Structure 1
């Protein structure tokens, strides 16, 4: 692990420097079976639950922090029971794969939470465009096809990713750009693996 940190990458905000690590361990596996399974499951589950509860008078919003806390013991359990045997998939050359490449790590945990966040409409419950479809059907009593509804909802959701990609140079990459709402989640990621936290001391 390389501990060298470029001066330009250091954030001028003290809270960020104290919370976010500047080092990385590239040897940790990321695209694991556990990450895909728990990530897709949490995305689908939060998407369904948030949409289901959205039609209540007082909607219940389940955010990705719930998944962030719940998936740690599930990921560790999967790391202890999944087989570690390696196998090859035709078409991928000599690369080997395993259902269990090692201990459950923070990178997998972060990606699972990103999946969950996408499923919960980025922390705000149901996607806004679902309201448009609901109004068309319930208020105006008009028909809208599934394909048109799906395209409307998907494009409005992906629009945020598009803007983030276009403005990445200005709102993501500079070290002085910080997002206070994410510091809580980063702190939780850094301290969740601690055994005393899990036991409850």
Structure 2
């Protein structure tokens, strides 16, 4: 058995122990990359789960690939501020500044949710497949979706 020990000095070389509250978090880039990575990982893992030897794409792939995409979006997106009617003096910008670590962490969390926590596809999708293929019964999209979502939320996956 290997024992991994990390010293505080080793960790502090790569991770800061202070928080910068001025960094924007809920940005357009974070939502766009997060939702896209969640949906893409969910689709790809489900698609590849039907293979004899399933290919599982983990959130680490998204973590590595979204960093340059986030920096690219920070250079390309406009910095104009939009005022949203009904929200007082609040304004919104597609590009509030450089792509930061907080956005990147949230994109990774989104990707982790889409990869079914690293296990490929959701377990209950197999139940829907068995109902359709083995029992040759019809199950509506709503019933199948509710079954998958319910088992995911309750933790039976």
Query: What is the TM-score of this pair, normalised by structure 1?
Result: 0.69
- How is 1:110-149 mapped onto 2 (pairs within 5 angstroms)? 110-149=105-144
- Aligned to 1:28, which of 23, 27, 30? 23
Trace 1:28-47 onto structure 2 (pairs within 5 A): 28-47=23-42
Task: Report the CA distance shift for 1:91/1:158 in structure 2 as closer, same or farther (over 3 A).
Answer: farther
Aligned equivalents of 1:21 and 1:154: distance in 2? 37
- Structure 1, residues 78-124: CA drift from partner, whole Å, max 9, x if none? 00011111111122221111000000001100111111111111111
For residues 1-201 of structure 1, the aligned pairs below 5 Å read 15=6, 17=8, 18-19=10-11, 21-160=16-155
Q: Deviations over 1:33-66 (max 9, x none)?
A: 0001111111111111000000000000001100
Structure 1 spans left out of the alignment, 5+ residues: 1-13, 161-201
Q: 1:84 to 1:16 in 2, by over 3 A?
A: farther
Q: In the alignment, what sits opposite 1:170?
A: none
> Structure 1 residue 24: deviation in Å?
1.5
Question: What is the Cα deviation at residue 16 of structure 1?
Answer: 7.8
The answer for the alignment partner of 1:171 in structure 2 is none
User: Which consecutive aligned stretches of 4+ in structure 1 deviate over 4 angstroms post-superposition?
Assistant: none
Alpha-carbon RMSD: 1.7
| Between 63-72 and 17-26, the greater mean CA deviation after superposition | 17-26
Paired residues in the alignment total: 148
Q: Report the Cα distance in structure 2 between the residues aligned to 1:139 and 1:88, rounded to whole angstroms.
A: 55
Give 3-state SS (helix, strand or coil) of 2:92's partner: strand
